[in-house]
Structure 1
Amino acid sequence: METWFAEGAAVLVTGGRGFLGSHICLRLAALAPAGCEVISLDNGTRDAFTALGQPAPVNLRFVDGDLLEPEQWLGELGRPSVVVHCAALAGVSTYYRKPTEVLRVNGLGSARLFEALAALDPGLVVNLSTSEVYGPHAEGVAEGDLTPIGPISDPRWAYAASKIFAEHLLFAMAREHGLSVLSLRPFNVYGPGQVGEGAVRNFCERAAAGQALRVTGDGSPSRAWLYVDDFVDALFALVAVPSAWGRAYNVGAPDSRVSTLELAELINKLAGNEAGVEFEPHPGQDVVHRWPRIDALTTATGWRPRVGLEDGLRRTVGFWQQ
């Protein structure tokens, strides 16, 4: 943990009340040396701690603030040793309802955060990007592949555009200001405490209530699903290897690849839900198949996902059934 809490400094997690941010905060707080703290910067839109039914650790400090208004929170951060930038507007329905806000928060908000961090000079800035940057055709994609996001006529791609902008900006600032940086591209992370949108979350919630699972389109598009603990393990593995810094990494579970319909049927089976599935139109353009190559991450750190799909879904279904 020397990199995380160098010389007793705090670690900053933006979006610390969100799904991924909360799991990262909990892991950090559990491992933090005595006298060190984890800071969550969040606007409170979502609260995974309430969803998890878990009180926040005493060494986790919450700072309320909006990325777009750094004057609200900059003075409360000190000089963090590591920053993990999770804060973002996400969710397919959100892209369609609020594309302008998605671009403002994820693009301009990230820009203001990075500019503020350049003055603070943290030891490492970790950016959470997205697998959406690979666009509608993302089968076996590697980090060096093109990132041809979809057409501007479809608001869905506002999210991908905002995320690839943030990646380019962070790496440009790293070159100009000498920052150490990493960017992670998560592929369909799921697990207990997921707030907001997401197929696994939506399916598990309905299955636990004995309702039919709503599958958009014909259910044939496929995804590779990554359990949240494995994602946090990958983050920690990368931070622990400074020679791996300075690039983007896919983080996913290529062997946990199933169609949306297969996913729904497996969740129904694990939940004992006999309500079945129902189909509804998919809004806009869908990604037909999406799964990553993770050679770069495995070579750099030795990390591979450990939680299989059925095991991870069983844990997640159990969480929702509680």
Structure 2
Amino acid sequence: MSSAERFQKVLITGGAGFIGSNYVHYALTHHPTWEIVVIDKLTYAGNLDNLKDVSDRITFIEGDIANPEDVEKAVNGVDAILNFAAESHVDRSLRDPLPFIRTNIEGTLLLLEAARKHQIKRFLHVSTDEVYGDLVGSDRHSLETDPLSPRSPYAASKAGAEHLVFSYGISYGLDVVITRGSNTYGPYQYPEKIIPLFVTNALESKSLPIYGKGEAVRDYLYVEDHCSGIDTVLHAGESGNAYNIGARVQINGIEVATTVLGLLDRPESLMQYVSDRPGHDYRYSVDPSAAETLGWERKWDFKRGIAQTVAWYQQNADWWQAVKDKKVFQEHYKEWYAR
């Protein structure tokens, strides 16, 4: 069955954020017959500039998924919901967890209620590998059948949302699928996350703040691969299941810093070690075999993906400088890295 036959009008929540906006671009390329509705609250991490080049091809609603009226307006007439909307930064959740509970749990609940009321064909929830907790001290990879063991308020809010999603599948027969993506990077990523922070700081010849000893390992996934994985699960995933999407790589903070500095021909003296994050998870790694069985495959290795990402930030200085000039970014940066 082609995508055009199954879905005609799709709601993408959080579509002005990093992964959401990249998926909007992906969907417009791969599903040109779709009518796409985007709802985004335009918090500090939501940015209409991310959709500037496609604004005439989508319907945009500035709204909050934790507001019933906004949700009702957004879901009208859609036959699939892809929930990207989330507060997503661990550091911010440690400082103030309340927005994470409101958006990630209450917002997901309101979307599920709307999906049930409007008999949505499929509800895809975008989650994270952080729900599995820390794999430090082992060489294993998280499987979809593993128990969830979140260790930060952010990860706990995402795990709570997952339980709600699956409960609506079981209790109400809603067609639900979940993706658990690993650490994603690429164009349009807000520069509080490690890769865009390191790239933009290096471009400004500022120090690259590395937590602790820089030993925390992540499975870095290029955003286009993440979007294709989400799209594969939307169309081919089995209802009631979760699917890991990961790149099968193990890269620590020092490697990220040295790679970025090498690509930009900046000195390694810019690397600066700062106080570690409280309760820092030192290793995430997922086994994406189930998604691969559906037909998904990673196409970007880290070397090519990071080079593409660095090039994008070099070419889009106006975009990231406008973001970093804002008070909300500067206050967070000062609190976390001027230590």
With structure 2 as the length reference, what TM-score do the two structures score? Answer: 0.86
**C-alpha deviation, 1:33, in angstroms:** 4.2
Q: Which one-letter code corresponds to 2:148 in the other structure? A: T
Check conservation: 2:131, 2:159, Cα contact below 8 A: yes
**C-alpha deviation, 1:76, in angstroms:** 4.3
Name the CA distance, whole Å, in 2 between partners of 1:143 and 1:176: 21
Among the aligned pairs, what percent are the same residue?
28
Match among 272, 285, 288 for residue 278 of structure 1: 272
**C-alpha deviation, 1:123, in angstroms:** 1.0
> Does residue 1:290 correspond to 2:288, yes or no?
no
Residue of structure 2 equivalent to 1:153: none
Check conservation: 1:3, 1:81, Cα contact below 8 A: no
Q: Which one-letter code corresponds to 1:279 in the other structure? A: Y
Name the CA distance, whole Å, in 1 between partners of 2:98 and 2:177: 26
Identify, as 1 or 2, the structure richer in helix: 2
Q: Which one-letter code corresponds to 1:307 in the other structure? A: W
Residue of structure 2 equivalent to 1:20: 19
> Does residue 1:249 correspond to 2:243, yes or no?
yes
Check conservation: 1:203, 1:267, Cα contact below 8 A: yes
Check conservation: 1:4, 1:11, Cα contact below 8 A: no
**C-alpha deviation, 1:11, in angstroms:** 0.5
Match among 305, 308, 333 for residue 312 of structure 1: 305
Q: Which one-letter code corresponds to 2:117 in the other structure? A: A
Q: Which one-letter code corresponds to 1:117 in the other structure? A: A
Residue of structure 2 equivalent to 1:212: 207
Name the CA distance, whole Å, in 1 between partners of 2:198 and 2:242: 30
Q: What does 1:26-41 correspond to in 2, within 5 Å?
A: 26-34=25-33, 36-41=34-39
CA deviation profile, 1:262-293 (whole Å, cap 9, x unmatched) = 11111111111125300000120111111111
Change (3 A) 1:75 1:289: closer
> Does residue 1:166 correspond to 2:161, yes or no?
yes
**C-alpha deviation, 1:177, in angstroms:** 1.8
Name the CA distance, whole Å, in 2 between partners of 1:4 and 1:284: 47
Q: What does 1:88-99 correspond to in 2, within 5 Å?
A: 88-99=86-97
Residue of structure 1 equivalent to 2:9: 10
SS of equivalent to 1:80: coil
Structure 1 portions without partners, runs of 5+:
151-156
> Does residue 1:302 correspond to 2:295, yes or no?
yes
Check conservation: 2:65, 2:107, Cα contact below 8 A: yes
Q: Any runs of at least 4 consecutive aligned residues in structure 1 with deviations exceeding 4 A, and if so which?
A: none
Check conservation: 2:39, 2:74, Cα contact below 8 A: no
Residue of structure 2 equivalent to 1:112: 110
SS of equivalent to 1:147: coil
Q: Aligned Cα RMSD in Å? A: 1.9
Name the CA distance, whole Å, in 1 between partners of 2:306 and 2:106: 35
Check conservation: 1:208, 1:317, Cα contact below 8 A: no
**C-alpha deviation, 1:5, in angstroms:** 6.3
CA deviation profile, 1:284-303 (whole Å, cap 9, x unmatched) = 0111111111111112x132
| Length, aligned pairs only | 310
**C-alpha deviation, 1:137, in angstroms:** 2.4
**C-alpha deviation, 1:17, in angstroms:** 0.3
**C-alpha deviation, 1:49, in angstroms:** 4.8
Q: Which one-letter code corresponds to 2:40 in the other structure? A: D
Match among 51, 57, 77 for residue 59 of structure 1: 57
Structure 2 portions without partners, runs of 5+:
316-339
